Amino acid sequence: MLNYAFAQNPASVSPSNFDFHCHSVVSDGLLPPAELARRAAGNGVDLWALTDHDDLGGLDEAAAAAAEAGMGFVTGVEISIEWRDVPIHIVGLGFDPGHAGLAGGLEALRAGRVERARRMSDSLAAAGIPGVFEGAMRYAGNPNLISRAHFARYLVEARIAKDVQTVFQYYLTPGKPGYVDHRWATLEDAVGWIRAAGGVAVVAHPGRYRLLSHKDLRAFLAEFKDCGGEAVEVVCGSHSPDHVLHFARLARFYSFHASRGSDFHGPEESYVDLGRLPGLPEDLKPVWRLLA
Ligand code: AMP
Ligand code: MN
Ligand code: MN
Ligand code: MN
């Protein structure tokens, strides 16, 4: 096991450009962990977390490359949950990656993904698009972590739609042929695993849950806090300036710490590059303070 030096005391770094959300080929990103680390450092990131979906397999490589680049590193993961039937993502930061409870929970989530992918493929076949499971698997850098993003890349290759955005719009979102209901982790499970492993739980990109009304989102945040959740992403790649103001207000109201992350997946697929984000509103408590 590597020595996650900065994961023990990132607060001593007092970062000016932290980025706590991105993906490597271990989930649905396009770059290996070490390349992400070098890109982040090159963009001026001084404290960085890799947060692959439901998998910790990239953390050793990421930590080693971050150390080589002289950049602070924090362990990370983005856990898929559902709450009142709505899929939501919870980022975990600064946990012990060797914790058995967390690893076991994530393993079950990955197994569920393979089963879901087969049902997605069956549903697309019934709609006249065969062979998508096999096609999507060719895009999965990690055969145990298949995501809708891999389906989207294959469906673009198969000329079913012109780009990834269009594939999601017509094939991979609720009500469309490639979307199937799925049981993810519960909120209590995800926050519980993260906390048991010594980490901090963060609500990922709260501006993206269009299936939740404002009232539901507030109920969700209250429940998240009751479970031991401590932070929300306020500045992130998919947030508009209005989102930033809105979630800054909610962070103050619930007394959450604030996180910041690009959600970078790859050079051609992301609007925001690693570390290229506005700063947090100055009065908010940055989440890295909880990681000391
Ligand atoms: P999954 O976890 O398998 O449901 O896949 C979700 C992933 O698909 C997200 O993490 C994004 O990488 C990607 N994704 C979701 N919605 C979109 C979208 N509208 N356009 C592009 N990528 C998307
Ligand atoms: Mn993703
Ligand atoms: Mn997400
Ligand atoms: Mn993400």
Predicted confidence (pLDDT) at residue 265 exceeds the cutoff of 90: yes
Please work out whether the CB of residue 28 comes within 6 Å of at least one atom of ligand 1: yes
Q: What is the amino acid identity at position 281?
A: P
Would you state the pLDDT for residue 14? 82
Q: What is the amino acid identity at position 187?
A: L
Would you state the pLDDT for residue 12? 58
Q: Tell me whether strands 257-261 and 231-236 are parallel, antiparallel or unpaired.
A: parallel
Q: Report pTM.
A: 0.96
- CA-closest candidate to residue 73, choices 106, 43, 51, 42: 51
Secondary structure E strands in the chain: 18-19, 47-49, 72-74, 76-83, 86-93, 200-203, 231-236, 257-261
Q: What's the mean pLDDT in 109-115? A: 97
Predicted confidence (pLDDT) at residue 5 exceeds the cutoff of 50: no
Percent of the chain exceeding pLDDT 90 equals 93
The lowest-confidence range among 63-72, 106-115, 235-244, 265-274 is 265-274
How close is the Cα of 64 to the center of ligand 3, in Å? 25
- Mutation to probe ligand 1, out of 148, 151, 179 (largest number of atoms < 8 A from CB): 148
In this predicted model, which residue has the larger pLDDT, 10 or 236?
236
- CA-closest candidate to residue 54, choices 75, 31, 72, 78: 78
- What CA–CA distance (Å, rounded) separates 54 from 77? 6
Other Cβ atoms within 10 Å of 112 Cβ, number: 16
Compute the mean pLDDT over every residue in the chain, rounded to the nearest whole number: 95
Contact (CB, 8 A) for 71 and 4 = no
Q: What is the amino acid identity at position 269?
A: E
> Among positive and negative, which fits the CA dihedral 39, 41, 46, 52?
positive
**Ligand 1 atom index nearest CA of 167:** 20
> Among positive and negative, which fits the CA dihedral 85, 225, 186, 51?
positive
**Of all protein residues, whose CA lies closest to atom 12 belonging to ligand 1?**
149
Q: What's the mean pLDDT in 76-90? A: 98
Please work out whether the CB of residue 147 comes within 6 Å of at least one atom of ligand 1: yes
Burial 82-107 (b: 16+ CB within 10 A, else e): ebeeeebbbbbbbbebebeebeebbe
Predicted confidence (pLDDT) at residue 262 exceeds the cutoff of 80: yes
Percent of the chain exceeding pLDDT 70 equals 95
Please work out whether the CB of residue 80 comes within 6 Å of at least one atom of ligand 1: yes
Please work out whether the CB of residue 168 comes within 6 Å of at least one atom of ligand 1: yes
Predicted confidence (pLDDT) at residue 7 exceeds the cutoff of 60: no
Please work out whether the CB of residue 148 comes within 6 Å of at least one atom of ligand 1: yes
Please work out whether the CB of residue 53 comes within 6 Å of at least one atom of ligand 1: yes
How close is the Cα of 86 to the center of ligand 3, in Å? 13
Q: What is the amino acid identity at position 175?
A: G
